[in-house]
Structure formats: C-alpha cells, structure tokens
Amino acid sequence: MKQNKAKRRFTLGMTLLERRSLFSLAGIYSLRMLGLFLILPVFSLYAHDLQGATPALIGLALGAYGITQALLQIPFGLLSDRIGRKPIITAGLILFALGSIVAAMADTIAGVIIGRALQGTGAIAAAVMALVADLTREEQRTKAMALIGLSIGMSFAVALAAGPVLNQWIGVPGLFWLTAILAVLGIAVLHLGVPQVTAPRHHLDVEPAPQQFLRVLGDFQLMRLALGIFFLHLLLTASFVVLPISLRDESGLDPAYHGYVYLPVLVTSIIAMVPFIILAEKKRRMKEVFIGAVAVLGLAELAWRFFHPSLAGTIVALWLFFTAFNLLEATLPSLVSKQSPAGSKGTAMGVYSTCQFLGAFVGGWAGGAVYGYFGFEGVFTFCAGIVALWLIFAATMEPPQYLRSQTLSIGKVNPDEAQLLAKRLAQVTGVADVVVVAEEGIAYLKVDDERLDKAALTEIGPEQMQSTQPSI
C-alpha cells in the first residue's frame, strides 16, 4: 500500500498514458540492466573452469559488453530518429538475447567473450531515453528520467544480491539463459505496454546531436566528468574481477553467502550517501563532496589491498566503496547537467555514457591482466593508483556553476524570430545561456534559480511561449 502511494505521489501530474509508458520503459531498461549485472558477482568464480581461461581473458569476458555498447549506443540512438524507436529497441533486445544464448552455450572463454560482446551490441539506452521523451511532456520529463535512473540503481542492487543465490541453483550458464528470457520479456513489454509513436522527433535535452559533438568534446570541464565516469566503472569492473575470488579464497566466505554481504552493504551505503547529496546540492559544496568521495574510493581499494584476508576488513572496505560509488553515480550526471551548454545536454550525456561503457571494458581487461601477473594485491594497488590519478583531475576542476536546465515551449517560429527570441531571453536576469530551436518549437535555457527573474521570463512572447517545469 505504501509503495502504491509513493508511486502515485511521484507520478502526480502525469497522464495515464505517460504513466503507462514510463513504467513500461523503466521495466524494459531495468530488465536489461539486471541481465547485465547478474553475473558481475559470480562470473570470475565460474570462468576459471572454462577451456582456455586466463585471468586476462576472464577480465575481458566480464567487460566485453562495454566496448560494443560504447561504439553503438549513440549511432543506434540517432538511427531511431530515422526508422523509429521500437524497431531499434526490438532489434537491440534480440541482439542482447542472442548474446546471452551464445554465452550460455559456450564452454570456452572465447565463446563467452563473443557472447558478452554480442550482448553489448543491444545498445538501446539512447533509443529508450528518446522514446521516454517522445511519450512525456517536457514538464514531466525530469520525473521520467529520475524513475529510469532509479530503476537502474534497483537493478544493480538486486543483481548483486540475487546473482550469488541464483548461481547456486542454476549456475552461470543458467544466469545467461535467464538474461535471454528477460530480454524476450522486455520485447513483450515494449509492444504490449508502450504506445506507438508515429512521428518521433529529436530532443536536444535527451539525445545527442552530431553538430554538438565538437562543442562538447572541446569543453575540458565536461571531459573531466566523462573521464570521471570512465574511471568509476573501470574501478567497479576491475575490482569485481578479483573481489568474489578474494571473498571465497582469502576471507573464507562460501559463494552461496556472498549475496547476504552485498545486499546490506548496498542498502546501508545508499542511506549513508544521502546527507552528502544534500550537502552537495543544497549547501553548494559539490566539489568538496566530489573530491571526498573519490578519496574514499582510494581508501576502500587500499583497505582491500591490506585487509582482504579478513572478512570484516573486506566488508568495511566494500561499504566504503559502495558509499562513494553510489554518491559519485548520483553526482556525476548532475555535474554534467550543470556544466553542459544550453541545448547540448543530450550530447554531453551521450559522450558521458560512452565513456562509462568504455570504463567497464578497460576495467575488465586491465583488472584481469593485472591479476594474472600480480594477484589480488596487484589489482587493488592498480585501482588505488587509478584513484590517485583521478584525484589530480578532480582537484583541479573548476567549482561547478549551480545552473539548471529549463525548457520553454515557444510554438511555431521562423529562424529570424527564433534568433530575436534568443537575444531577448539572454537579457533576462539569471539566464546564463540560451538556444532556441525553431524546428522543435523549444527554447533551451541554463538558469541560476537564485538570480532568475521569473516574471521577466514569462513576459517574453506570452502569445507564443509557455514556460514548462525545469528539465534537469
């Protein structure tokens, strides 16, 4: 009953169609991510028995999906503008299911690597986000994206807790078969639960735009953040190449009980990060909180390095790691949103997501290679070194401007009117940046809430322009 009330409060103001679309798409996204994450806590325990397995190849198999995901997610998103969202998402889920089947049937490490890489070709993230934007009004889009993000976080927590338990019942091949079933279920949800969009359009606040790439890639502050998510997922994947083995062989914990460690650690780490989110956002101490979280990651890796034979030491380090990891997973997208120029947030997030998947690929491969030469201690030392490098980039970044994105519906205007409107909007106090896209009938703004003259903003073009809620 309480959960239903919470959902109703969260979706307040949404139409029935928007709610149906949103929960269906969140379900598709979470089912896919659940399939990817389920093997994270158990794969390295299983893969040593595969023909041809070496530590480097085991790590490569764990992260192989990242390289194909990184290469294809932006092209698939752009292609969905041309041929439609549902065909791209359907094809992506079929590819993901096929990759899962290949990995499930493989008895060699090479076969699993091929299956994992094929899983990554089902790169539907950008297309799903675009479909969410197609099916929700601008004033509801912040809620919609927040729910998608929440579904990913829940999938990660469920996968870490459930993976070791399911592994005892069906094994890792069974987990791959389960991910294939989840992908097929996602296709059913897509076609039965998500309304058809007859004329998809491009959304600059959600989707990448080719003309914006040079602008984003040339922004050193944005690229520092993209490098940050690269490092974060490198650390996650590299650590999980050896952590399950360390828990079993060094700490003496039976793999059947690993999930009972991961779940409470994740839940309590999420609770622990909340005060720091408030400090970062409400008290405007984002840079200090960000640097502190990166430093805690390094502390966790060093704790694993020196205390991994101790179960208590491993659990404390795991809690530190996930407290910092969850905090950075929440703050990095917020920083990208604050830093990205008006009308470039979709492109900035596309580059950011690409770097995230590249980090998973490099982390798996590098973690396995280092493990093969230097053992557990070598991997944790390597990860601590990555954190030290990240700290240099984090400490020298500029404090973020506390700007939020806002969209204004302006109706039909010609290019000359759009240019004039952009100039008028730019003169409003508190508007830091503005782009008016005549084809979309939308103005994209970056505003400072503490200085924004809302009255002046609503007075501009009252016959053509209707303010919407912020899209963060």
DSSP for residue 136: S
Overall domain count for the chain: 3
Tokens at 81, concatenated = 């503008």
- Which candidate, 86, 73, 154, places its Cα nearest to that of 354? 73
- Residue 462 confidence (pLDDT): 38
- Alpha carbon dihedral 218, 291, 158, 123, in 10-degree steps, equals 10
User: Are the C-beta atoms of 3 and 173 separated by less than 8 Å?
Assistant: no
Q: Distance between CA 446 and CA 132 in Å, rounded?
A: 22
Q: Are 223 and 230 in contact (CB under 8 A)?
A: no
Domain that holds residue 147: 1-207
Q: Which of 120-129, 389-398, 429-438, 449-458 has the lowest mean pLDDT?
A: 449-458
Distance CA 231, CA 223 (A): 12
Q: What CATH code is carried by the domain that includes residue 428?
A: 3.30.70.100
Q: According to the model, what pLDDT value does residue 93 have? A: 96
CA distance 148 to 254: 34
pLDDT at 342 over 80: no
Q: What is the CATH number of the domain that holds 354?
A: 1.20.1250.20
* % the chain with pLDDT above 90: 51
Mean of pLDDT values over 181-196:
92
C-alpha–C-alpha distance, residues 450 and 430, integer Å: 8
Of 207, 242, 270, which residue sits at a domain end? 207
For the beta sheet containing 466-470, the strands, ordered from the edge strand earlier in sequence to the opposite edge, are 431-437, 442-447, 404-409, 466-470
38 closest CA partner among 223, 162, 203, 134 = 162
**Cα Dmax for the chain:** 71
d(CA 159, CA 172): 13
Say if residue 380's pLDDT is above 60. yes
Residues 80 and 197 in one domain: yes
> What is the residue-averaged pLDDT of the chain?
87
On whether both 226 and 339 belong to a single domain, the answer is yes
Q: What is the spatial distance between Cα 226 and Cα 206, in angstroms, rounded to a whole number?
A: 17
User: Do both 418 and 287 map to the same domain?
Assistant: no
pLDDT at 281 over 90: no
Residues 153 and 294 in one domain: no
The verdict on 219 and 339 lying in the same domain is yes
Is the domain of 246 the same as that of 193? no
| Separation in Å, CA 231 to CA 328, 356, 465 | 11, 8, 42
Beta carbons of 207 and 129 less than 8 angstroms apart: yes
The pLDDT of residue 10 = 47
φ/ψ (deg, to 5) at 430 = 95, -10
Tokens encoding 86: 């549902």
Residues 89 and 142 in one domain: yes
Name which of 48-57, 95-104, 142-151, 259-268 the model is least confident about.
142-151
* Rounded Cα–Cα distance for residues 174 and 168 (Å): 10
Listed in sequence order, the residues at least 6 apart from 6 whose beta carbon sits closer than 8 Å to its beta carbon are none
Last residue in a domain, options 207, 242, 258: 207
Rounded Cα gap, residues 155 and 107, in angstroms: 27
Banded pLDDT at 461 (limits 50, 70, 90): low
Give yes or no: residues 459 and 322 share one domain.
no
Same domain (yes/no): 325, 390: yes
**Which of the listed residues 345, 368, 402 is the one where a domain comes to its end?**
402
Dist. CA 150–CA 80, nearest whole Å? 24
In angstroms, the CA 91 to CA 132 distance is 18
Instruction: Check pLDDT > 80 for residue 176.
Output: yes
Q: What is the dihedral of CA 165, 169, 174, 177, to 10 degrees?
A: -80
Q: Domain check: are 284 and 252 in the same one?
A: yes
Q: At what angle do helices 85-105 and 141-193 cross, to 10 degrees?
A: 70
DSSP 278-337: HHHHTS--HHHHHHHHHHHHHHHHHHHHHHTTSHHHHHHHHHHHHHHHHHHHHHHHHHHH
Q: Which residue, 358, 336, 405, 354, is CA-closest to 125?
A: 354
pLDDT given at position 199? 65
Q: Which one is predicted more confidently, 329 or 427?
A: 329
Average pLDDT of the residues in 177-182: 95
The token pair that represents 148 in the structure block: 């998608």
| Same domain, residue pair 328 and 441 | no
Helix (H), strand (E) counts: the chain = 16, 4
If asked whether residues 125 and 6 sit together in one domain, one would say yes
Residue 422 CA, distance from chain mean position: 32
| pLDDT over 70 percentage in the chain | 93
Confidence grade of residue 428 (pLDDT, cut at 50, 70, 90): confident
Instruction: Kindly list the distances between the CA atom of residue 283 and the CA atoms of 93, 276, 289, 292, in Å, as whole numbers in the listed order.
Output: 42, 10, 11, 15
Tell me the C-alpha distance between 348 and 223, whole Å.
Answer: 9
Q: How does 263-287 read in b/e, with b if 16+ C-beta sit within 10 Å?
A: bebbeebbebbeebbeebeeeeebb
Are 437 and 444 spatial neighbours (Cβ–Cβ below 8 Å)? yes
Task: State the Cα angle at 390 between 35 and 241, rounded to 5°.
Answer: 35
